[in-house]
Structure 1
Amino acid sequence: MSSIVTTGAGPSPRGTGLPAAPNLRRKARPVESVIRAFLMVSALLSVAITIGIVAALIQPVIEFFREVPFGDFFATEGEYAVLPLVAGTAMTTVIALIVAIPLGLGAAMYLSEYASARARKILKPTVELLAGVPSVVYGFFALTFVTPTLLQDILNLEVGFTNALAAGLVLGVMIIPTIASLSEDALSAVPHAMRQGSLAMGANRMQTTLRVVLPAALSGVAAAIVLGLSRAVGETMIVALAAGAQKNLSIDPREGMQTMTGFIAQTAGGENAVGSTSYNTLFAVGLLLFAITLVINIISIALVRRFRQAY
């Protein structure tokens, strides 16, 4: 009788006469265990910080609503009305997106589809350099150039010293690098085979960019836009300096408006006694701003998962 020779992979299953599958599991190295523990601690620390922020806001908010009814807070007029602040934030954010989305996507498509390797090497760091400019510098730029020179002298608009239009324009310039850089990364990740297939079918470069590459990178582009939106909503110094310091529920961007972050900066300036109702207002507005930002991030995650494509 012939005998069955087994390999060193392990004993054969009982009654089969076949060699067992090799054991591919190996013991983790000490360095890998340390790295895994570090990553786990980092993730848990991020969650703990978020919970800590919410916990720090809850108690002053509870004390605030003991003194101020919800109706007075979510009102259009009054000392504690928050809807004018929400409207001012929305106004400056919409203007910023109108400026940043076309310019940011245009820059991203040029860098990804048209620029040479040498031009891309020079232009992309230059665009990203704008992200490192302090926001207070943007705010003074809006006060000293955009409002008096661009809006009043060149465009001949009747705007005040502070207005939502100037703040929104400069805010849009500030978030252009965020949208452009992340969108360019998403466009560059699209396989070249898709571009080659489109060109082989007779499409020109512009048609390929708009009808093939951009839809394929839509999840990354959407994430870039929503990230820019989140940054615009949470920006403080530009709107605090250029938008105004008075609550104004208006649809005219030429008027001065106060945003949620501008209100928080003003309230936390030291003029309100700690523990007072006016001081606790900033925690209520901050919690509302946190909730709005959280909703924006949830929408971003849903968009990325909805349009994500694997290559």
Structure 2
Amino acid sequence: MIERVKEIYLKLYREGYSCTKNKLKDYFKVTEKTIENTLKPYSKVIIYDKQLKRYRFTKLLPDFIPYEVFYEIFSESIANSTIKKDFLKIKNLFMQENDGIVMISTSDLSDFAKKIIMFTIAINDNNILKIEYTKNGDQKETKVIKPHTIICNGFTYYCYASYEKRNEKDVGSIRTFEFNRIGNVESLEFLSDEIFKIEQNGNAFGPYEKNKYIVLEFDRMSTDFFRKSNIFQNSTYEIIDINENTLIAKMYYNSLEIEVVKLIQQWMPHIKISDDDENKSKVYKIIKDNFEKLIF
């Protein structure tokens, strides 16, 4: 594969909107005809979509992915055993090919990695998907969604998506989908008048709201542990202040009763709620009630 095509692969994965004939012509400093001729041998993989007025992949899972893109998508989840195996599989490529953009065959990757790549492309291409999703044990449901954001907590991958009108129920509602529960994925339609991608942070409970947080104080022991474990790099936390003995941070949450209570119960007295936080009394009362239920 020539380098120009590899670069177009990069652009299609990262910013599909920039893959118009005109923008590619300007980027490579060639004519539109040259772009057309360059991609003609790859017509089974990359096509010009007249509705979108730009190039896109012909299928949700292209035959190749640039290693740079693979690393961008999966570097946060190196602790995930499945993704770790994928990284080990492609390690040998760097001994065989070290000039230019290194391309990875997607057929060599795990089904889990393939699925996340498919959703990455669907988000960039504003592609409505029909998915099979397993809920409550073995119960499978069919959902029609617009995928918006992929997040990872280091081990588990989630997608925030809204229900499309063909879903019939809860149209427009944002839901969290765990990738381990997603089965078959089918492309339904590309939209040219809507942007699916949303930059947002969150967890399994859903996206965070910027004004929904609690202020926590960490002692030296908890601070050292969270730092060594790179937990403060997670978007859940935002460090406000730090001195010799105490670190103060915002913790964003969706469920006060589950996420915050669980953390304080696990780490008390090494993590406590700031005296000025309005939720202090509420959280401590829940913890007190929990302990009383255990004792009595």
Band the TM-score falls in, shorter-chain normalisation: under 0.3
* Higher Rg: 1
Q: TM-score, normalised to structure 1's length? A: 0.22
Bigger share in helix? 1
Q: TM-score, normalised to structure 2's length? A: 0.23
Bigger share in strand? 2
